[in-house]
Copies of this chain bind each other. A is one copy, B any other.
Amino acid sequence: MTTAAHRPATLEDVARLAGVSRSTASRVIAGTGFASPYARERVTTAVERLGYVPNPAARALVRGVGVRLVVAVAGASAAVLDCPYVHQVVGSAARVCTPAGVGVALHWLPLGQPGELDQLARDRSVCGVVLVNTTNELLDAIPRSLQGRVVSIGVGSSAVPSFDVDNAAGAGEVLRHLYATGRRRIAMVTGPQWLPCSRRPVDAYRGLMRQAGLPERILPGDFSAARGRSAAGEALRRWPDVDAIYAISDETAFGVIAALRDEGVRVPGDVAVAGFDDIPLAAMTAPALTTASHPVGRIATAAAIAVLDGRPAAPVTLFPSALVARASA
């Protein structure tokens, strides 16, 4: 490790110091093609002496591969880019991409404007796209030139592999737990209507309710605590006999609990509450929240790796979600 030169070393510098040609140095560094042990050794010591770091931009330019992975989030406004879930996806992606010399970008895909994807497809610096909050409209609009470089966190399609938590199973476990502990008048606070991936837990809820011969009680939400709070108030008004509320996210569940507390309803005494995600704080509150695990980091990591690798991924990869039974239900 030498002192930092004013001008960073280039491959040319390395080759000169090692007494070989640029080609040979390139071959040694990239690990492609033949190189004698002698040349290999001279080049590697030269790299160390100069503190050489390859320039990904140049490499990308000549190889024709991108230097950026785009996390594209569909939503009504650009504000969707500010939510913790998106941040976590970006953070996990960045962690995976950095060693590969790839940067991460964050794009908003306005609902109803699937043409935005064309723009990404034509940007040669984009090596791949991770879709978040996928809509069917979006899946239908994937440009051919982008195929094989797109994955979806949430629902996918024949052309777009999907990575997601097995929230049908997780929701099922939680709902069966509610049923097993004697709850029969179970309401659910869902996610946004337009979001296909919030439908799977709803389907699980509907299926189980029908199977058990129980009435469906569904309220729309948006994953937020504030919406959970208002939805719970409405639930109490519409169904005074409700004895359990299942929320699509832990945030929502905390909002629900706050509303119930405001109304003097005991949790879990009068109404049991369960969430989804198992965020760290779920274990800390009073009552501690019953929920199902949601390995967002692992999902995002797998999605980013799939894009980076470029190998065709399985059409659907589901990550297990397990019941975490605590005090609230």
Chain A positions near chain B (C-beta within 8 angstroms): 1, 4-6, 8-9, 51-53, 55-58, 60-61, 66-69, 71, 81-82, 84, 86-88, 90-92, 94-95, 97-98, 101-107, 115, 118-119, 121-125, 143-146, 225, 229, 251, 254-255, 257-258, 261, 280-281, 283-286, 297
Q: Which residue of B has the minimal Cβ distance to A82? A: B297
Asked if A280 contacts B225 (CB within 8 A), the reply is: yes
Q: Which of B4, B71, B98 contacts A106 (CB 8 A)?
A: B98
Asked if B121 contacts A284 (CB within 8 A), the reply is: no
CB-CB under 8 A for A124 and B53, given A144-B4, A258-B284: yes
Query: Distance in Å from the Cβ of A290 to the closest Cβ of chain B?
Result: 16
Report B-chain residues with C-beta under 8 Å of the C-beta of A284.
225, 229, 254-255, 257-258
Asked if B55 contacts A124 (CB within 8 A), the reply is: yes
Report B-chain residues with C-beta under 8 Å of the C-beta of A285.
254, 258, 281, 285-286
Q: Which residue of B has the minimal Cβ distance to A296? A: B87
Report B-chain residues with C-beta under 8 Å of the C-beta of A102.
103, 105
Report B-chain residues with C-beta under 8 Å of the C-beta of A68.
56, 67, 103
